[in-house]
Amino acid sequence: MFIIAASDGEDAWVGWLVVAVIAVPVIFIIWWQNAKVKKNLTDLAQRLGFPVTPKMRLPSLSRSIKKAAFGLNLGDSTELGIQGALHGHQVRFSRFTTGSGKTKIVWAELAVSAHARAFAFSLRREYLGWKLVSLFGFTDVKIGDEVFDQRWRIKTTNAATLQALLLPELRAKISNAAASSGDFYLENDWIRYREKGSFSNDKVVARLEGMVPMMCDLAEAIDVAAEKYSPPPLNS
């Protein structure tokens, strides 16, 4: 009995050692990425003159251990973002996720406030899952620029407003600035650009920071086009 007990104890010790060997690197990566995100957003806020503390809540150590060691789906517990005023607009950098498990995608987003009235649109690379938007008043639109129309799947609630908005210079800026996974959408008085990636990636941070002037120009163009071409909201 003594020998068996010793053997069982040794097997248990080896099992926990294997778990530790697998879990510790994963936990380290999770915490390193979050630390890098916080540093990059703090540095970005300081450069732009925003409040310097990102609004974020890092995963607890116990949640990270359980997720890494046992593969438990505990949900996304990271909340972060920075926001401030630039060029007469509110500018926000934030992170969000779509999907879960193996289909989970992390997105980095830059959003700028715009007075869009009831106007909305989207410019997307992929059309997956977007057939349903036609049920909510969105229709396919062609701008008349063959290169732009081939690159983007365009949806809008008001074709006249969008065509007045997307002048050649602005179309070129949009296409040149966006990453291969990036897309644009205007809703609830925010023009948003998002791409697959994390603020732990210095290239993602640099690209979104560099897009701020263009996004502010786009927001101002939305203000003008929406006022001129879009009908006022029903409750006005």
Q: Which helix (H) or strand (E) holds 160?
A: helix 159-165
Single out the residue of 191, 148, 192 nearest to residue 168, CA to CA: 148
- Considering the domain architecture, whether residues 138 and 213 belong to the same structural domain is answered as yes
The helix/strand/coil state of 214 is helix
Q: Which of 78, 111, 142 is the last residue of a domain?
A: 78
Q: 172 and 73, same structural domain?
A: no
- Is 135 found in the same domain as 104? yes
My answer on whether 200 and 149 are in the same domain is yes
> What does pTM read for this prediction?
0.73
Q: Which range of residues forms the domain containing residue 28?
A: 1-78
Cβ atoms of residues 197 and 181 within 8 Å: yes
Tokens 């540093």 correspond to 39
Higher per-residue pLDDT: 202 or 63: 202
Of 25, 50, 78, the last residue of a domain is: 78
How far, in Å, CA of 207 to CA of 215, rounded? 12
CA 57 distance to own-chain centroid = 17
Task: Kindly state whether residues 121 and 181 are assigned to the same domain.
Answer: yes
**What are the pLDDT digits (tens) for 185-196?**
998 899 999 999
* pLDDT tens digits, 40-51: 999 999 999 998
How many domains is the chain built from?
2
